[in-house]
Amino acid sequence: MIGNFPVFFIFFIGALILLLTKGKLHKFIFITIPALAFFALINTPVNTEIVGSFLGIDLKFIFIDKLSKVWGYIFAIMAFSSAIFAYHNDDYKENIYATLYIGSSYGVVFAGNLLTLFIFWELMAIFSTMIIFARKTDASTKSGFRYLLVHALGGQLLFAGMILYYFKTGNLDFGYIGLQDVATLLIMLGFAINAAIPPFSAWLSDSYPESTVTGTVFLSAYTSKTAVYVLARSFPGEEILLYAGAIMTVYGIIYAILENDMRRVLSYSIINQVGFMIAGVGLGTQMAINGAAAHAFAHILYKALLMMGAGAVLYRTGISKTSRLGGLYKTMPYTLLFSCIGAAAISAFPLTSGFTSKSLIIAASAAEHKTFVYHILLLASAGVFLHAGIKFPYFVFFQKDSGLRPKEAPKNMLIAMGFVSFLCILLGVYPQVLYNILPYEVDFKPYTASHVLLQLQILMFSAAAFFFMLPMLKRTETITLDTDWFYRKGGALFISFVDNVIIKIGSKIKDLLFTKIPDKFSYIFSNPDGYIKIIYNIVYYKVFEDNPEKLKENKLLLKDIGRVKTDTHIGISMIWVTLFMAFYLLIYYFYAG
């Protein structure tokens, strides 16, 4: 029975219950919802379909197969651990929005057709914006609006693509689409915006660091990963995605190394990690899709862990700039431990989840003889260690002593981080747990001597590089002018172009269409008869009777047509009735005769 019950209903009903409850019960339910969803999902058979018809079109509303189940599982696990992490949070609204946000991303992942997908896609954008707004600072409000605009654009592209696609093919089923024409290109662009593929990636690093300690943890997991899912389902094997993914991995690293704010570093590293997944999707072989799915699964966990660590530090110190942090190992040992596990996992140390998932993708690229991409990915893995693996823990917890002596993170945070750390290591030690739920058969042994050796070499060399280049990297402490300039030159040129040119033109057009023209029309139509009368008078006094005084008087009245009195309506209506009568009779007689 429960098998045919779409999982995301649990979240939407749960959100309703959350709305009505307060206090401990509220928090308890908040944690229970994902747990329920998880067990409901286990009982959901593979290839579940719910079919119906809407507006005369037969639609597969829900479609669940092995691929979507991978995302389903990790979303539930993630929601569960973040709910524990957010246990101390008394902002009920944020919890409700988070629940709705998660429910909508489930809707996307289980959508059987483009229409359902589109609706949940938009809901996701709206609720995630609400989460960003929840921090209630000026910066978060502004970046929330920017976030919403970008996603609205994505939604519109997707919608336009969907309509064209429907007219061309006559079906809306969500399955393999493939890049063929304008319609599919629009759909892909819509997906690409959520996947944060450059140059559409600015929203991610702009908004995630601005949301609350708990909000970021939620946000980091869903939006970009649902995008990876939809790309994996509809555009596997598209060459362009392969290169886009490769570029993303490098792009993310460059910015992450240059960044100072710790959550911004981690946000850029999301882009880098999603790049691996996109590259996997672009390869499109069974092994690569497996790799993308596995990496999404693993990445959600360790990125959440890192975000939680950063969140705990921010929660206790109120500081997120790495240059002002340091020496926290003394008072926050557990947070340090868990962050280090997260850092190890993201850097793909053997025995952690990153190792078992990322090597799938890299091996898949090698198997396809994509030498160039293979090397880029290797380079990027080294870079990951540099920025997320060492830089984040080193600058936050060690480095110089900043004099800060914050308390250890709250218990609920530690429990959440502990739980996720456990999973990270579990998946590293027993990768079969993960491999079993992947969409295709896995014929891959991560722990061969050559793999482990290669990975350790990469890690050791980049670790060496880190400490050799430490003085250079430390420059981020104060953001000197040259790195600042370098940073802005690269990324902010685009942002400033959007801000100054596109936004300005856009707001002009918006003003014109939604304020100026309607105002003009509403002015005229507040007294249309009067307006016509005045226009008639002006023409009359200008053309037929040269009377400048009356002309001037009428021109003044044009500015204030509310004062123009017109005749009562009955007479005019009578004329209309007569005219119509005559008109109809004439036409009908003429036509029939």
Partner 1 sequence: MNLKMNLPALVVVFPFFSAMMMVAIGIFNRKVVPYIFQITATITAYFAFSLLIEVYTNGPIRYYFGNWIPPVGIEYYVDYLNILFVTIIASIFFVMSFYFPLSVRKEIPESKSYIFYSVTTLFASGLLGITITGDMFNIYVFTEISSITAYALIAIGGNRRSYRSSFNYLILGTIGASFIVLGIGYLYMATGTLNLLDMQERLQHVYNSKITISAAAIIIVGLSLKMALFPLHSWLPGAYAHSPSTISAFMSATSTKVMAYLLIRFVYTIFTPNFATKIIPITDIVMYISLIAIIAGSFLALGQKDLKYMFAYSSVGQIGYIVFGAMLINANGLIGSIYHFLSHAIVKGGLFLVAGIIFYNFTNTKIEITNGLFKKMPFTSIGFLIFALSMIGIPATSGFISKWYLVMGAIETGNWIGVTVILLSSLLTAIYFWRVVDRIFFKAPDDDVKFNEPISMILPTYILAGCSIYFGLFPHQLVNYAQKAVLLLMETIK
Q: Which parts of this chain interact with partner 1 (CB under 8 A)?
A: 53-56, 119, 514, 518, 521-528, 568-570, 572-574, 576-577, 580-581, 584-585, 587-589, 591-592
Taking the least distance from each CB to partner 1, the nearer of 490 and 518 is 518
Which CB sits closer to partner 1, 56 or 548? 56
Q: What's the min distance (Å) between Cβ of 219 and partner 1?
A: 25
Closest to 195 measured CA to CA, from 110, 132, 252, 237: 252
Residue 573, class by beta-carbon neighbours within 10 Å (0-12 exposed, 13-18 middle, 19+ buried)? exposed
Q: Which of 170/403 has CB closer to partner 1? A: 170
Q: What are phi and psi of 587, to 5 degrees?
A: -60, -45
C-alpha R_g of the chain: 30
Closest listed residue to residue 266, CA positions, set 205, 193, 333: 205
Q: Compute the least distance from the CB of residue 588 to partner 1, in Å.
A: 4
CB of 586 to partner 1, least distance (A): 9
Q: Where are the alpha helices (DSSP H) in 110-196?
A: 114-133, 138-169, 182-194
Q: How many Å apart are CA 161 and CA 152, to the nearest integer?
A: 14
Which amino acid, residue 469? Answer: M
- Least distance in angstroms from the C-beta of 373 to partner 1: 41
Q: How far is the CB of 53 from partner 1 (least distance, A)?
A: 7
Residue of 256, 220, 231, 412 whose CA lies nearest to 334: 412
| Smallest separation (angstroms) from partner 1 to the CB of 105 | 19
**Cβ 13 to partner 1 shortest distance, Å:** 16
Alpha carbon distances (Å) from 475 to 179, 254, 266, 463, 469: 44, 14, 18, 18, 10
Pick 199 or 518: Cβ nearer partner 1: 518
Q: Which is nearer to partner 1, 111 or 306 (CB)?
A: 111
* 3-state SS, residue 56: coil
If the CB atoms of residues 152 and 524 are measured against partner 1, the closer one turns out to be 524
Q: How far is the CB of 115 from partner 1 (least distance, A)?
A: 9
Structure tokens at 247: 């570029």
225, containing H or E segment: helix 213-234
Nearer to partner 1, 539 or 577 (CB): 577
Angle subtended at Cα 470 by Cα 466 and Cα 471, rounded to the nearest 5 degrees? 155
Shorter beta-carbon distance to partner 1: residue 468 or 580: 580
Closer residue to partner 1 in complex, CB, 66/93: 93
| 3 state SS of 141 | helix
CB of 91 to partner 1, least distance (A): 20
Nearest to 427 by CA among 262, 278, 305: 305
* CA–CA separation, 456 and 450 (whole Å): 10
